Amino acid sequence: MDEGFNVTHIILGGHVEVEKYRYLYFVIILSVYFLIISCNSTIVCLIWTHQNLHEPMYIFIGALLINSVLWSTVIYPKLLIDFLSKEQTISYSACVLQFHMFYSLGGSEFLLLAAMAYDRYVSICKPLQYPIIMNKSTISILLILAWILPASQVAVPAGLSANKQLCSFTIRNIFCNNTLYKLQCVITRAQIIHDMVILANVALLPVFFILFTYTRILRISYRSSREVRKKAAQTCLPHLIVLINFSCLCAFDVITVQLDSDFPKTLRLIMTLQLIMYHPLFNPIMYGLKMKEISKHLKRLFTRAK
């Protein structure tokens, strides 16, 4: 059998001076992971336990926060093990699995944000039809599709990558993302086209849909009363900020692979850490502070704790 198929372990070459700063890295990442779990879980529990938060908008927010925890769990435990290990390696099969989970949950983020945009559109633009359109069945279908569609589509390139011959065994990152393709001897035109279709389906189309719905909301709100404009700003602005933040971080993830050899290792590490640290913490802070009802329950919770 060819040597490329015999190698089962990949070196994660994106780490910088692990031997010198391993315990510092470990403490920082463990603290951030704990914060991600606790912050996101607190808001999810508030949504679960309070009846007035059992509305479609808050259910989608809860799903988005659960998705953030799952997305972080794909990366953080392995990262913590690597900081305490002599060698930062991963089996190729585990690398492909991490690649699949990273992008399927990333795609779910976009689709959940699109579902939230649709909910806001119906609420503000078709208020009389809102209870009929956004019923339990609609919410369940949107949630299921948000997780199943990206997972099933990303499974194809992940499955194809699992059987590819490798010509390189070092990834210039601290986890397995699309730098996985740099290991493969040949990347076919069909593979590139298929990946572009997936990118369009799970990222670009949801983003265009979100922008379209919020443009419609903006136009209708502008013609409506001050109260409607205020409601639109309070509920839509956090979603837009989260979308812009996540889109910028995803754009960085795509661009760094194209500039693989030109990107300084330390800068790549800093930007990658921002991707995995900043966004999962940004979501609960944004929705906890900006969403009036959630903020109210959080204040009561902390007041009671004191």
Tell me the per-residue pLDDT of 93-117, one tens digit each, with 9 for 90 and over: 999 999 999 999 999 999 999 999 9
85 occurs within a structural domain: yes
Q: What is the pLDDT of residue 2?
A: 42
By the 8 A CB rule, do 285 and 61 touch? no
218 occurs within a structural domain: yes
What would the two tokens of residue 289 be?
């502070």
Q: How confident is the model at residue 258 (pLDDT cuts 50, 70, 90)?
A: low
Number of domains in the chain: 1
- Each as own residue / partner, the long-range contacts of residues 19-23 (CB below 8 Å, 24 or more positions apart, any chain) are 22/83, 22/84, 23/83
300 occurs within a structural domain: no
Q: What is the pLDDT of residue 69?
A: 95
User: By mean pLDDT, which of 22-36, 126-140, 156-170 is the weakest?
Assistant: 156-170
More confident residue, 171 or 302: 171
Mean pLDDT (the chain, rounded): 86
Q: How confident is the model at residue 6 (pLDDT cuts 50, 70, 90)?
A: very low
Tell me the per-residue pLDDT of 43-73, one tens digit each, with 9 for 90 and over: 999 999 988 889 999 999 999 999 999 999 9
155 occurs within a structural domain: yes
265 occurs within a structural domain: yes
Place of tokens 């909910």: 119
Does 4 score more than 60 pLDDT? no
Does 261 score more than 80 pLDDT? no
305 occurs within a structural domain: no
By the 8 A CB rule, do 80 and 33 touch? yes
Tell me the per-residue pLDDT of 201-257, one tens digit each, with 9 for 90 and over: 999 999 999 999 988 888 887 777 777 777 777 777 788 888 888 888 888 777 776
214 occurs within a structural domain: yes
10 Å Cβ neighbour count for 12?
23
CA–CA distance, 42 with 301 (Å, rounded to integer): 10
Q: What is the pLDDT of residue 268?
A: 79
By the 8 A CB rule, do 257 and 178 touch? yes
Domain with 287, as residue range(s), is: 9-292
Domain with residue 135: its CATH number is 1.20.1070.10
CA–CA distance, 203 with 109 (Å, rounded to integer): 9
Q: What is the pLDDT of residue 262?
A: 62
Q: What is the pLDDT of residue 109?
A: 93
Q: What is the pLDDT of residue 3?
A: 43
The pLDDT > 90 percentage for the chain reads: 42
> What average pLDDT does this structure show over 85-96?
91
